[in-house]
Structure 1
Amino acid sequence: MKRRKSFGLLLLSSFFAGLMPADAHPHPPGNQADTNTFVAPVYRALPLGAVKPQGWLLHQLQIMRDGTTGHLDEVYDRVKNDNGWLGGKGDGGEETPYWLDGAVPLAYLLDDKILKDKVLRYINWTLDHQRPSGYFGPVSKTEREKNTPVGLNNVADGEDWWPKMVMLKVLQQYYTATNDSRVLPFMTRYFHYQLQALKTCPLGKWTEWATSRGADNVMVAQWLYSITKDKQLLELPALIQSQAFTWSDWLGNRSWVIDAAAQQNDQHWMRRHGVNVAMGLKDPVINYQFTGNKKYLEDLHTGFADLMHLHGLPMGIFSADEDLHGNAPTQGTELCAVVEAMFSLEEIIAITGDPRYMEALERMTFNALPTQTTDDYNNKQYFQIANQVNIKRGVFNFSLPFEREMNNVLGMRAGYTCCLANMHQGWTKFTSHLWYGAAGNGLAALTYSPNEVTAKVGATNTPVTIKEATGYPFEDQVRFQFSMQQAVAFPLQLRIPEWCEEATVLINGEKLRTAKGGQIITVQRNWKNKDQLVLQLPMQLRTSNWGRNSRAVERGPLVYALKLEEQWEKGHDEVEGDYFSVYPKDAWNYGLPEKVIRDPAKYLQVSVVKPVTDTFVWNLAHAPIRITTTGKQIPEWKLVDDVAPQPVTDRNGIYKGKVNDQETPITLVPYGCTKVRIVAFPVVK
């Protein structure tokens, strides 16, 4: 593609002039590493842009484009002013790359020229200003003072490794969308530099953030190896992992997650930090990929199960306020932890092909993600709470109680602004990972939402477009329509969710087969133009058990919460700007009668109140499904320090305190459509 004019400082032009040209070949590969240990992923990611969102998902991304994802550089001063990733003296840390990590995929998913041009300014500056040594990133303070570029003779003149890891993810996505010939040589030069530089300036030289997040660095290096087969790239993972947090060991060693549940002090808090944990989830599969040792997969299985047992919340994410903080429904979760856990699961799915992580991804995405931003995607909530009976200023029972009391309100800059920059990767990366390439040059639909995918398939690499039309996760049918110039044989893999007792597959109106939940099925056939496949996924009602013997109501991939009419109030903080508080207009202190738990199909009535249209928004007004039942009020279940502590139960899970005799009709709606709610109900007689 045509290269753009640089945005660098004139005073540094002398050393930038010595850069290798964009079409230069990478350094010759070394021969120390054994390529036999590299394990190819079960599924391969499709190029960015191969999946195009449609229906409600397209509208969600359009809202993001019109909101902060498309305009953060205009409304947020830290990114807006004299940006270091454009050669200035401003933000040279994580926040600009965080934003680009969501804005770049958004630009190509929507094929939006204005947004493409905007993000290309940062990408082009980064690519055009790599130092001759391979080092890249904003001009460091020492470089400015000495007018000397960072190289292997002055590695310490550089700056933190961590923001570069995020920018590498940005460049990886950009390359899959454009095949820009500059990217692979750029990455190769940097990783060769890093292989030497880490020996004198290890990951923790500048911050512990890089030490805790080394798997993100390794992930991109291994992706590059899968393309170039440069053996030096197989030396780097072991070096980085020797300096990074040992997430694989911790996840496999159950004492770590138990200790995290018991300790909330300042000792080793970085290994309990929820966002670090979310990123660290991918560490075992990254280790597995460059060693072939299946023990790492066992470590992940053990660690993820323990994490969700001890710290899991009904909306599918673990407590992270900011540390892991147990499974009480009054604990919070940081928005960064949600989007980073989603991305880790997307990588885990590709490498392992394990359906259990697909289940986790959908639950997290359709429940935890949408509730934590406003409809216009301009305000975010730093910590969400499962049983959130108000949104307001306060300290709450969080492990990081900000003295400004702004970590629960909805605001653009409320709480730390890392989430304002980082929240954009959630929906965008979920969209780009709806489909994967599969064995036999086939395709795999592993999570479901309305979209259209185009890829070359089969032995003949025949282009095919598959339109996926659905109101999922609210609707129980997914319809696939095939378009192609000529018939082609290829395998189509479909995930049957674990919650589905028995799915039915129809092709062109004829029943093909049924399948039990919790597996991947393959439909191998000679596909023709205008073929139609329908996947029917009946959604049974069920309840699940969570912290303090609470129960949640579920249907399909969605968790349902008590519908509370909302009262919004706008406020202003001198430091953190405008924000919103939200209060319930209705009573919230209901328990679910035991009979509902014993026979949910009998006592829970599902009704479709409105279709899922192309203008759907995750809020009460648009909630398409309602579940009605009865509840009993618990008079003594009251607010304590602005939260609703779970009533005490006996070992049978029944609240034994005073309960109103009268049953009251209550309505439940999808958790993701709520701002204030009860989702984890006590059980009453």
Structure 2
Amino acid sequence: MNLRTNFVLGALLLTSGVWSQTGLVPKQFLSLPLGQIGPSGWLSDQLAVQTNGLAGHEHEFYHYVSQTDWVGGNSFYSTLEEAGSYWFNAMVPNGVLANSSVLNQKTSAFLDYVLSHQDSTGWLGPEVNTTKPRYLWGRYPFMFGAIQMVEAHPELTDQVVNALHKFVALANTMLHNGQGQEDWTRVRWPDFIMVLQWLYDFHPNGKEDLLLDTMKQLKFTGAPWEDVFSTELFPKGATDNMRNPTGFVLTWHGVNMAEGLKALPATYRFTHNQSGGLSRIIGILPLMSLFALDLDRASEGWDLLFQYHGRPSGIFAADEYLAGLEAVRGTELCLVVETIGSYLYQVIGDPKYLDRVERIAYNALPATLTGDFWSRQYLQQQNQIAAQNMNPHSRNPFPNDGPYSNVFGLEPNYPCCTVNHPQGWPKFITNSFLTTPDQKSLVQAYLGPFSTRTTLANNNQVSVSVDTLYPFSDTLTTTITAAQAFTYHVRIPSWVSGGTISINGGAAQALSPNNGLQAVSAKAGTTKFVLNLPAKITTGTFQSRPHGSIAVQRGPLHYAFDIPRNSTVLARNAQESRAVDLQFEATAAWQYAIDPSTLKFINSPPQSGALPSPIFDSNLPPLSIEVTACPINWNIAGSTFAASPPQNPACVGAQKTIKLTPYGSTKLRIGEFPVFKST
């Protein structure tokens, strides 16, 4: 079905009464404005590490976002189509959460410059007064940043909202005329729909019909994510030699896939079609994109993605395109940060989305950056025995990426992740608390050291402080202060085994969560409760990997063997000496099989009560798992990466005990092991 047919049939359905409801379906949970949630404890330190690292300084020297020459329309502003837009989206919340006056001043100046240069047609971006083609998608991250600016600074509301409405009117005309779209715009339309829905929910300005029409135009002229996430069409392995049956090759691109996960929840809000039952009754596959705009398909697609491409670190594999389950295939840093957030949970309400995002934040995100956050990878691997410039004459495990892809540096392989990666921690923090639609109850979505201060319905002023080392501890102490009694909900992850809660010093009681949420009756005044959330070591279905190998998990953390390494500086930025490209090579054996029956959890809490800074580096987390292992023959494929884990390997040396540590603290690692039975 071509795009024009798709849109015409969609329009007919919308006018014939099949989708006769109007307006947007309310979300099940609502976000709090930027500035009302903050990190505390070790997580506050982690954000400080990011702010003091590459993220907080790249505007000073990095040529894609350097502010040294943007007043004249060069450099920083001229990259609004991607780099500047990404930077702004990340730095707005980073600056507010870290209370950085420098970053706050920079983002404020950037917003002022962009809005003041909006042309008379409504266009935003460096194409103003040029002959450059005008494509829509590069503005979307900028708009997310602008929305967050309004949340943190309500006095900016009229300026930002008026500019966005002016742009929407232009975009609507362009879409009706078949303009403003190229391949990337056609797959990344969910982000624009989220912006449109923010306007509809909070600042419609009497333009509800135009906003809804623009949403429908985007959906019916864009990639059919309903087809992409269907069981019939979803790729069940690495896509290297596959033809994309939807006709949209870029839907299998990893970052686009991460953004496409939001498509069905976003469109459900205006189609009101949850089950997609009509498409199954008709039984015509090409009509999926017309009828299956539903929550069922969103849930199924999520499960398919992680079943066939998922990683024990929480994320999925795509070294450009979906890459299957092999442990040496790569995961791009951009897709890690794009997947973090709670939008699917806000619309659908299934806690499985929160469980996985928490895994991603505490494992996959820190694993792909150096501990000081000055160098980052383009691609991370589950089994990563070297991070170096690969021999161009040897095999490369990444068929669509170059030999520099897993080096830790300023811009290895592609520069996008340099400017985009800083949104990860801020997005995780700002989605850690939500409210119910009536705004009478507060929901803690993610577990960790957070605090919030907000006003619920009926002017109920509430503050919450969570004191914890989680995920490096099983215990969380939460103190709630409220003007009026209300119900507080805290998410209990699916991996908790035998968890308890003690309220106001009372006896510990077994948890009784409903759909993943434990209700706590908070009284007027102060309520304090302690959660104990133990977990078992698992190597079960979630952790079962190809070739009979296993991965080790306990609670939210994935554990890996941290390969001792040396470090070589490959390059150093001329303007910023801390921005270096680093090559890591193993200095000890990594070829081990493990006996899963001998896994033993070790907790060595810090004597000072505080975690080291930065926490995500070798030998710094207080948790580990010991296991009996033996050396085996395990080949190297090419010159710098491990072959698939051997099945039923024979020991070639004496058994020994090795230590597994949290995956996020490792930079060279084995995360998927062959197994043997010890004697």
Normalised TM-score (structure 2): 0.86
Please tell me whether the aligned partners of residues 489 and 524 of structure 1 are also in contact (alpha carbons under 8 angstroms).
no
Contact kept in structure 1, 2:432 and 2:447, CA below 8 Å: yes
**Is 1:109 matched up with 2:97?**
yes
- Name the SS of the counterpart of 2:550 in structure 1: strand
Distance 1:304 1:390, change over 3 A: same
The 1-side partners of 2:570 and 2:379 are apart by 18
Q: Which amino acid aligns with 1:233?
A: L
Whichever residue aligns with residue 498 of structure 1, its letter is S
Q: Structure 2 vs 1, CA of residues 85 and 480 (structure 1 numbering), >3 Å: closer, same or farther?
A: farther
Q: Which runs of 5+ in 2 are unaligned?
A: 1-16, 276-293
Q: Equivalent residue for 1:351?
A: 347
Q: Kindly tell me: are residues 298 and 260 of structure 1, through their superposed partners in 2, closer, same or farther at Cα, counting changes over 3 Å?
A: farther
Structure-2 residue corresponding to 1:50: 36
Q: 2:554: which partner in 1?
A: 555
Alignment pair present for 1:96 and 2:84: yes
Tell me whether 1:176 sits opposite 2:151 in the alignment.
yes
CA distance in 1, matches of 2:509, 2:71: 54
Instruction: Choose from 574, 578, 583 the match for 1:581.
Output: 583
Alpha-carbon contact 1:136-1:190 (below 8 Å) kept = yes
Provide the rounded CA distance (Å) in 1 between the counterparts of 2:266 and 2:152: 23
Determine which of 648, 653, 656 is the counterpart of 1:664: 656
Is 1:387 matched up with 2:365?
no
Native 8 Å contact 2:58 2:65 kept in 1: yes
Deviations 1:512-534 (A, max 9, x none): 74236783334353523332111
1:453 aligned partner, one-letter code? T
Is 1:160 the equivalent of 2:152? no
Alignment of 1:122-141 (within 5 A): 122-140=110-128
Question: Which residue type is aligned with residue 283 of structure 1?
Answer: A
Q: Does 1:189 align with 2:166?
A: yes
Q: Secondary structure at the match of 1:77?
A: coil
Q: Could you tell me which of 234, 254, 275 is aligned with 1:256?
A: 234
Q: Is the 8 A contact 2:45 2:613 kept in 1?
A: yes
1:590 to 589, 592, 601: 592
Give the match for residue 152 of structure 1: none
Q: How many residues align?
A: 620
What per-residue deviation string (whole Å, max 9, x for no partner) do you get for residues 3-52 of structure 1?
A: xxxxxxxxxxxxxxxxxxxxxxxxxxxxx997734111111110001111
Evaluate the alpha carbon distance shift between residue 483 and residue 524 of structure 1 in structure 2; reply closer, same or farther with a 3 A threshold: closer
C-alpha RMSD over aligned residues: 2.5
CA apart distance, 1:550: 1.6
CA displacement at 1:616 relative to structure 2: 4.1
What is residue 401 of structure 1 aligned with on the other side? 401
Question: Match for 1:461 among 455, 459, 462?
Answer: 459
- Whole-Å separation in 1 of the counterparts to 2:180 and 2:674: 46
Name stretches of at least 5 consecutive residues in structure 1 with no aligned partner.
1-31, 146-156, 650-654
Within-5 A mapping of 1:53-452:
53-80=39-66, 87-88=73-74, 90-140=78-128, 143-144=129-130, 159-179=134-154, 180=156, 181-204=158-181, 207-229=182-204, 230-231=207-208, 232-258=210-236, 261=239, 263=241, 269-295=249-275, 296-343=294-341, 346-394=342-390, 396-402=396-402, 405-440=403-438, 441-452=440-451
User: Identical aligned pairs, as a percentage?
Assistant: 28
Q: CA deviation at 1:269?
A: 3.8
Aligned partners of 1:85 and 1:626: how far apart in 2?
A: 51
Match of 1:11 in 2: none
DSSP 3-state at the match of 1:254: coil
Structure 2 residue identity aligned to 1:531: T
CA contact (8 A) 2:447 2:491 kept: no
Contact 1:315/1:368 (8 A) holds in 2? yes
3-state SS in 2 of match to 1:525: strand
**C-alpha contact 1:568 1:580 (8 A) present in aligned 2:** yes
Distance in 2 between residues matched to 1:624 and 1:86, nearest whole Å: 51
C-alpha spacing 1:251/1:292, structure 2 compared with 1 (3 Å): same
Alignment check: 8 A CA contact 2:480 2:522 kept: no
- Give, as a single letter, the amino acid of the residue that structure 1 aligns with 2:343: E
After TM superposition, the score normalised by the length of structure 1 is: 0.86
Q: CA deviation at 1:336?
A: 0.3
Determine the C-alpha separation between the residues in 2 that align with 1:416 and 1:64: 20
| One-letter identity of the residue aligned with 1:190 | F
Deviation at 1:452, TM superposition (A): 1.1
Q: Is the 8 A contact 2:228 2:251 kept in 1?
A: no
State the alpha-carbon separation in 1 of the partners of residues 180 and 347 from structure 2: 25
**One-letter identity of the residue aligned with 1:681:** F
CA distance in 2, matches of 1:195, 1:260: 37
Is the Cα–Cα contact under 8 Å of residues 646 and 682 in structure 1 kept in the other structure? no
Assess if the C-alpha contact under 8 Å between 1:496 and 1:516 holds in 2. Answer: no
CA shift at 1:81, angstroms? Answer: 6.0
Distance 1:603 1:115 in 2: 45
Distance 1:57 1:35 in 2: 43
**In the aligned structure 2, how far is the partner of 1:276 from the partner of 1:370?**
21
CA distance in 2, matches of 1:504, 1:176: 36
CA distance in 1, matches of 2:311, 2:255: 16
Task: Output the CA distance in 1 between the equivalents of 2:223 and 2:248.
Answer: 11
State how far apart, in whole Å, the 2-side matches of 1:386 and 1:215 are: 29
Query: For residue 83 of structure 2, what is the amino acid of its counterpart?
Result: E
AA aligned to 1:287 is: T
